[in-house]
A and B are shown apart, each in its own frame.
Chain A
Amino acid sequence: MDFLYYPGCTLSTTAKQLDTYARLCAKELGIGLEEVKDWQCCGAVFPLTSGQIGPKLAAVRVLVQSRDKNKPLITLCAACHHVIKQVNHQAKNDAEFREIIKNYDAQLTYAGEATVYHYMEVLRQYIGFDAIKKMTTNPLKGRKIGAYYGCLLLRPSDVMQFDDAEDPRMMEDFIRALGATAIPYPMRNECCGGYRALQDEEGTRTLCERIIASALSHGVRTVVTLCPLCQYQLTAAAGGDLDVCYFTELLAEALDIDDDE
């Protein structure tokens, strides 16, 4: 299965391991990734851009490419996924928005024809967790892993349609497929406060400390994330009490893939 791959800015800078292992695993699993040509920053803050067209144009261009190449779009960073999926939803359902896009650039006629997947959704839907379990050559036996979903992938749930926003299960299934013990803890779908990290440092830290404390109290030893922003926040709050890593790192470990390059 071939996809158009949108990495996003963070993945080429601070979150390289999220990107690297995703590409290596994709090769192993038979997922074809073609990187989007001339991609730009996704705009990163969909909820804050209502009424503005500028920050959404990059996402529209990516979506147009996906449609024209007839390849579904695959994303990795939760924030990018959120923005692109929301823009796609708006293009599909909001005629005024479509008009604004066209007025901005007559070449851009887009009505939400593309399909957007998060890498995790592709694993579930196109590979299947059972198949991944069979391909696991280095099962993560005995590892107590707690998934951290955050909020961007889950909400608004009618648009994102990732998992039950109040009681998500998908990543626990993923963790079990890798041979580890999945520990669901109550705060796994709470916001890390990432968006407000610069304005309200203390408030954000409190949120992250609660998430870490909730994971620790349930016996979690490793927290796995899907988002560079969450990863950054939680690593700081964990202070070495538990490991925080990307889901692609875990997947690579279980598939016994090394980053030799």
Chain B
Amino acid sequence: MASQQRPGRLFRNMSAKVASIPMILTALVVFIGGTAWTVLYSFTDSKLLPRLRFVGFDQYERLWSANRWLVSIENLAIYGVLSLIFQLVIGFMLAVLLDQKIRFENTFRTIFLYPFALSFIVTGLVWQWILNPDFGIQSVVRGLGFESFTFDPLYNADIVIYGILIAGLWQGTGLVMCLMLAGLRGIDEDIWKAARVDGIPAWKTYIQIIIPMMRPVFITTLVIITSGIVKLYDLVVAQTGGGPGLASEVPAKYVYDFMFQAQNLGQGFAASTMMLLTVAIIVVPWAYLEFGGKKRG
């Protein structure tokens, strides 16, 4: 109101700059600074406390020769690929079903999405109970007369990760369905009319016209699911605690255990740097493809 003369460059738009201080600090100090710090210290022999005594790639060599780490990586890969595929496929199909102008759409949508509101801890504990071999599905089916029926994923090292996958899918598919449904609703009704006039069957319209048109939605969903997968931690802690033995360990748990329990910070840093690298391998090419032309943020 008061002064309308142009202020100096730095002070122009001052309020916006002040308002952005938390964002700038978070971006620079935590995200860039913190990441650089961890990467730097992953080359040291830090144990209980971080210290700058460099040992080259020692921590990484130890990491990649640790059986527990290899199991963790394998588990995450299986869980990641399968949950990506199943969430996209199931989520999309549910969205298509809900998009058929059905009755009680809201009821169905509410039911499919509610697990997403629950924490991974709650999810993990419920499924731990349902998959409990002495009381859960296995015992119920045996009680029906199938005495030799065996379904105990949480106690079988070979398939434990699939037990976790069941719980993860139950929790997360609703979100994918919701994103897909929003995408389907965003498609112009005229396209459907045109396809119908041309006599193209519905399933063909979905595959050849609708899905390609929903590319942005699929990409957003893909990125959301992927960044969730890497974080996989609470679910495992609650459902199996990494067991039986080491069979359901995941990288995030490896990091936590080495940093805060085994007091071997260097290992934790090296492991978390590997997690970062994995994410970078996925995100950087995607970002390059999406925003390569520097169109927008």
Are chains A and B native binding partners rather than an unrelated pairing? Answer: no
